Homo-oligomer: A and B are copies of this chain.
Amino acid sequence: MKVSIISGGAGFVGSNLIKYLQAEGRHVFVIDNMCRGSSSFLGVNSGVDDSLISILNADCTDQAILYDFFDSARNVGHVDEVWHLAANSDIPAGIADANVDLKDTFMTTFTLLEAMKLFKVGTINFASSSAIYGDFGGLPIHEEIGPLLPISNYGAMKLASEALISAATESHLERANIFRFPNVVGVPATHGVILDFIGRLVVEPELLTVLGDGSQQKAYLHVSDLISAMLLVRSQKMLKKIELVNIGPIDEGITVRSIAQLVIERVSPAAMIKFGEGNKGWLGDVSKFSYSTKRLQSYGWLPTLDSRGAVIRAVDEIALQLGQ
């Protein structure tokens, strides 16, 4: 039996991914410190087959625990891949305290690569981020643009992780799929603008206060499309050991103002929206961003939902998640 190890596998993306890996006949080993993830995400309704999953509540930066975990996985079958999804996902928290992204975003990569070297696991699928690029002021951002000047510690530690993975393909890795994620929406939501907006309206149904003037525009992808893209890239035979791919919709995105309106329509139609000033939401947030996904499209992939469609679906899903 083939075995996949997933760091951060009980989080938002992992809990959506697992059933597809199990459908390939794989046993899935999840290590997650449950800081945002939850075993409940892997429960009855998630489509996860509990006979083909092993879950460890632990931090994968603890090397001794991680090695034991790899050893357990090896006893179940042939461990041929790691999905490295563990990371801090709270960008402002990482700016306030650089140790957060150091530990959760970078050292997770470091210890996983060390374990992969020791246990001879050949393939890594890595959740990188569009945040590695920094601010190109609206220029189309393709995979080979430079210079790479991230503006948040989150983006910096994702780029640092890519760099380590790149070096590892020169020594012990056989293949690295580096997926540069866009903003991804869906359930189980653990963070992000939609969850934030709905959460605020639950507390204060009459008023939604928005950071910035609402003109900030971003592309959003539904988690179901994200996973179809990753699985497609992973299934390709490649000449290169490293595949870097931007994942995202092909439209130009949706404004914060539109998201706020869609949330209100669904959750609290009578609410007022109060905007702030400026078009940057917070430190470390890039204001305008044009994300090229031509490479991904060259594999024949197209999203089923554009940014607006993804947000509409996710607003409904997250509202239900919050009992609205």
Q: Write the residues of chain A forming the contact surface with B, with a CB cutoff of 8 angstroms.
A: 95, 98, 102, 106, 110, 113-114, 132, 134, 143-153, 155-157, 159-160, 163-164, 166-167, 170-171, 242, 244, 283-284
Contacts and interface: CB of A to CB of B under 8 A. Distances in A.
A170 B151 contact: yes
A156 B145 CA distance: 18
A152 B167 CA distance: 5
Contacts of A134: 166
Contacts of A147: 143-144, 146, 244
A145 B152 CA distance: 21
B149 A146 contact: no
A166 B149 contact: yes
Contacts of A151: 166-167, 170
Nearest to A146: B146
A170 to B, nearest CB: 4
Contacts of A149: 166, 242
Given A163-B148, A163-B155, A170 B284 contact: yes
Query: Assembly of this chain: how many copies?
Result: 2
Given A144-B145, A171-B284, 7 more contacts: A144-B147, A146-B147, A151-B170, A156-B160, A159-B160, A160-B164, A171-B283
Contact of A160 (B95, B144, B163): B163
A285 to B, nearest CB: 10
A133 to B, nearest CB: 10
A156 B164 CA distance: 5
Nearest to A117: B98
Contacts of A143: 146-147
Contact of A284 (B95, B159, B167): B167
Given A110-B102, A144-B146, A152 B170 contact: yes
B146 A148 contact: yes
A283 B145 CA distance: 27
A132 B109 CA distance: 18
Nearest to A133: B146
Most B Cβ at <10 Å: residue of A132, A152, A153, A155: A153
A164 B163 CA distance: 13
Most B Cβ at <10 Å: residue of A150, A283, A284: A150
A171 B166 CA distance: 28
A247 B156 CA distance: 23
Nearest to A153: B167
Contacts of A102: 110
15 contacts: A145-B146, A146-B146, A146-B147, A150-B166, A151-B166, A151-B167, A152-B167, A156-B166, A156-B167, A157-B164, A159-B160, A159-B163, A160-B160, A170-B283, A170-B284
